[in-house]
Homo-oligomer: A and B are copies of this chain.
């Protein structure tokens, strides 16, 4: 496939396409037109065709897309079919919740070990994932070369831990610390900033004329 610059907006829509196609596939739908898919997703048919054209040719004029094929193509583009190793740093409340309920395998990630500094957690296992001491991180990374680390640790330790992970060869950081991390070229950081997200919602409801004040 020819390399070209693909915009951030397109990249962010890919997982949404994947999710919709996955849902349609699991409901037994076999084929869908870009019009119908667009209507469901709230984007235009031409947007979908344009987005997908960044990655090759999909669908057949007048016949729409074969859902299973398109889903697996997008999965391949997203890297879901290349299993990669992932570790989680910080098995506190949020780390624990992700270990218990998030399906890492569905994204093509293999997770067997989490790391923490708390002696109450070290040596335990959460949903089949072993919690080990941060002292064992270097040896684990040398032996297993994880591609991605999930960072669910307190703010204060965020940058220092990110630096350590990058030095150990981690290429992607899924960052829940609500701190803007810096990392060198060749390392991708994907932020989940809860506070930013809730404040965006706060803005949207604040701007709307209120018919009635909430009692507080």
User: Which residues of A approach B to under 8 Å, CB–CB?
Assistant: 11-12, 14-16, 18-20, 41, 77-80, 82-85, 92-94, 96-98, 100-104, 106-110, 143-148, 171-172, 174, 178, 180, 186, 188, 190, 192-208, 212, 214-216
Contact = CB atoms under 8 A, between A and B. Distances in A.
A78 B202 contact: yes
Q: Copy number in this complex?
A: 2
A199 B147 contact: no
Contacts of A94: 97-98, 101
Contacts of A190: 197-198, 200-201, 204
Nearest to A172: B205
Contacts of A193: 15-16, 19
Contact of A208 (B20, B110, B171, B212): B171
- The 3 lowest CB-CB distance pairs between A and B, nearest first, are A79-B206, A15-B199, A15-B196
Question: Which of A104, A109, A171 counts the most B-chain CB atoms under 10 A from its CB?
Answer: A171
Nearest to A18: B199
B202 A107 contact: yes
B148 A205 contact: yes
Given A15-B200, A199-B107, A206 B82 contact: yes
Nearest to A75: B199
